[in-house]
A and B are shown apart, each in its own frame.
Chain A
Amino acid sequence: KAGVTQTPRYLIKTRGQQVTLSCSPISGHRSVSWYQQTPGQGLQFLFEYFSETQRNKGNFPGRFSGRQFSNSRSEMNVSTLELGDSALYLCASSLGWMTNTEAFFGQGTRLTVV
């Protein structure tokens, strides 16, 4: 069974640009969550999608947005990039929303903003 796939693995962008990250969940998983990981900040929850609807949102500015498609694949977009957006972005998929089910993580996309 294929795991969670995130593309691209590495990305370098210039301040002010926008970026789109992609996440393909495990087959059959309908919930996709996104996290930002920076040293010292741990994992910060961005948002969770279930059945194409955003069910939960973290405390991030509106420059961070996402969507989920009918096949459960999800994209995350960050507009007007800032240096502070440099981080590892992790995607996780699970069977359900707001449940005790295990979240399976991808390897992440390392975004560097210069």
Chain B
Amino acid sequence: AQTVTQSQPEMSVQEAETVTLSCTYDTSESDYYLFWYKQPPSRQMILVIRQEAYKQQNATENRFSVNFQKAAKSFSLKISDSQLGDAAMYFCAYRPRDIFGTGTRLKVLA
């Protein structure tokens, strides 16, 4: 069975600094997709970034980038130049199967 693990329940970062959120997963499937979602305090979940497993190049979306290590089954999210609006719960997700991690609460300190 597939699993997704986020080992950091909470992280803090100073405004304008960089932070990395960790995610590991386990699967025997060769074709899958990985996502990072953000859930701000208002609760509506939104997509941050996605990665297709067959792509070796790490995905990047503005200040957000991933470090995808397929052999190690690791999918970490790096947030550069952190802003107060980045404060939220971040969930790592695996598709297909729609498996989510338990989330990491990110606090951004002014």
Contacts and interface: CB of A to CB of B under 8 A. Distances in A.
Interface of A: 3, 33, 35, 40-45, 48, 56, 88, 90, 92, 98-100, 102-103, 105-108
B91 A43 contact: yes
B97 A88 contact: no
Contacts of B37: 105
Interface of B: 6, 33, 35, 37, 42-47, 50, 52, 91, 93, 95-103
A100 B33 contact: yes
Contacts, number: 52
Given A100-B33, A100-B95, A42 B43 contact: no
Contacts of A102: 35, 47, 50
A49 B102 CA distance: 23
